[in-house]
Amino acid sequence: MGRLGADVYDELDARLAGADATLRQGYPGARPGRQPVHTVYVPADRFSADLPQRWGAEALAALAEHPPLPFAGALAGRVRAKLAREPIEDLRIDFEDGYGDRSDDEEDDAAVAAARAVVAAGRAGSAPPYLGIRCKSLEAGTRRRAVRTLDAFLDALGPPPDGFVVTLPKVSVVDQVTAMVALCVALEREYELPSGRLRFEVQVETPAAVLAADGTATVARLVHAAGQRLVGLHYGTYDYSAACGIAAAHQSLDHPVADHAKAVMQVAVAGTAVRLSDGSTNVLPVGDTEAVQAAWRLHAGLVRRGLERGFYQGWDLHPAQLPTRYAATYAFFRDGAPTAAARLDDYLRRRATGVLDEPATARALAGLLLRGLDCGALDEAEVPFDRSTLERR
């Protein structure tokens, strides 16, 4: 068959061996396992072992005081059950903007107290599935404080729990990411942790993190500079918008500058094991029923918008944002599940239909169903595939 000899095949394999290795290492595909639907940020001095349960109770109280929950409909019972069972999926103990500048002694004490509360939550079974801290940035003015807080926290914590992650804010250049990698190595050595145990996320909240002075996409370079330690990119709504000169009244997750930054982030992580998180809204559901309902409608709409654009995680800053986070998320997955299941079944059975799906689309269909199962939007009985079939896809 054909005229080419084996030497031509061998030459191509040798020529592309380096490229093959680069693609395998740099683009291994999506990270397996559950991705939380949100990250809750809590100032370090307000964190306690029972905080998730208190937030769940406050969220349920808001539902009782200001009904109905917008867009929930028949999902209201499912949302209440989630708030009672697992109100927070991912929690970040904040030593940065939410905590502010304190004396060294005060922040040292807060770091130790927070770590001990994490240990207590683990023993009591009240800790969320994913948890970590946000330290201050590695910019010159806060660098030593960031390292000192992380060191003190780990010293009081002991072995970090599964799902532990550090959030690094205000990253602007690749060197800050490689420095964070070096810091993780030093901490693992000092605390006798397995190599690679400490992982971190990067907050994209400066324009320099998106576009470098030479016109390249900084965020793409830092993703690959961090290697396997980088697990996520989080968009910082208000720092980024302000740095771009957007007036305060117009700073939002759906502003064009936000969409541009998030689109660059999305392309930068495509094919890698790094996950994306949308940012937050500062319009909180507090006050009278009219104000709470308006904030709920805004939040639910932004959550849905992010999901439609491929951002399956976001930030929540107040207990009363939890109901709309879950209501909007559940509605998104339940709306899409019947069609996704039917199309995936057609694809696997090679049925001829009016939609010609390809392998990449089949992966997306299976991914939607898996995410729906992971977050509680769907029950296993509602999905006509076993989990192993979906994971293989």
Is residue 391 in a domain? no
Mean pLDDT score, 204-231: 96
Q: Are 127 and 51 in contact (CB under 8 A)?
A: no
The answer to whether residue 276 scores a pLDDT higher than 90 is yes
- Would you place residue 357 in the very low, low, confident or very high pLDDT band (cuts 50, 70, 90)? confident
Pair of tokens at residue 2? 């054909």
Rounded to whole angstroms, the Cα distance separating 133 from 121 reads 15
Look over the chain and give the mean of its residue pLDDT values, rounded to a whole number: 96
Quote the pLDDT of residue 255: 97
- Name every residue whose Cβ is closer than 8 Å to that of residue 373 and which is 6 or more positions away in sequence: 379, 380, 383, 387, 390
CATH number of the domain at 62, please.
3.20.20.60
Give the type of residue at 222.
L
- Would you place residue 258 in the very low, low, confident or very high pLDDT band (cuts 50, 70, 90)? very high
- Would you place residue 123 in the very low, low, confident or very high pLDDT band (cuts 50, 70, 90)? very high
* C-alpha distance across the termini of the chain, in Å: 33
Count other Cβ atoms within 10 Å, centred on residue 78: 18
Is residue 19 in a domain? no
Query: pLDDT tens digits, residue range 293-335?
Result: 999 999 999 999 999 999 999 999 999 999 999 999 999 999 9
Rounded to whole angstroms, the Cα distance separating 12 from 8 reads 6
Q: HEC states along the chain? A: CCCCCHHHHHHHHHHCHHHHHHHHHHCCCCCCCCCCCEEEEEEHHHCCCCHHHHHHHHHHHHHHHCCCCCCCHHHHHHHHHHHHHCCCCEEEEECCCCCCCCCHHHHHHHHHHHHHHHHHHHHHCCCCCEEEEECCCCCCCCHHHHHHHHHHHHHHHCCCCCCEEEEECCCCCHHHHHHHHHHHHHHHHHCCCCCCCCCEEEEECCHHHCCCCCCCCHHHHHHHHHHHHEEEEEECHHHHHHHCCCCHHHCCCCCHHHHHHHHHHHHHHCCCCCEEECCCCCCCCCCCHHHHHHHHHHHHHHHHHHHHCCCCCEEECCHHHHHHHHHHHHHHHHHHHHHHHHHHHHHHCCCCCCCCCCHHHHHHHHHHHHHHHHHCCCCHHHCCCCHHHHHHC
What is the domain count for the chain? 1
Query: pLDDT tens digits, residue range 189-212?
Result: 999 999 999 999 999 999 999 999
The answer to whether residue 185 scores a pLDDT higher than 90 is yes
Percent of the chain predicted with pLDDT > 70: 100
Count other Cβ atoms within 10 Å, centred on residue 142: 18
Is residue 135 in a domain? yes
Is residue 107 in a domain? yes
The answer to whether residue 356 scores a pLDDT higher than 90 is no
Mean pLDDT score, 134-153: 98
Is residue 111 in a domain? yes
Is residue 386 in a domain? no
Mean pLDDT score, 333-355: 92
Instruction: Lowest mean pLDDT of 64-78, 114-128, 155-169, 246-260, name the range.
Output: 64-78
Is residue 337 in a domain? no
Quote the pLDDT of residue 6: 95
Percent of the chain predicted with pLDDT > 90: 95
270 lies in which domain range? 27-332
Rounded to whole angstroms, the Cα distance separating 229 from 129 reads 19
Is residue 356 in a domain? no
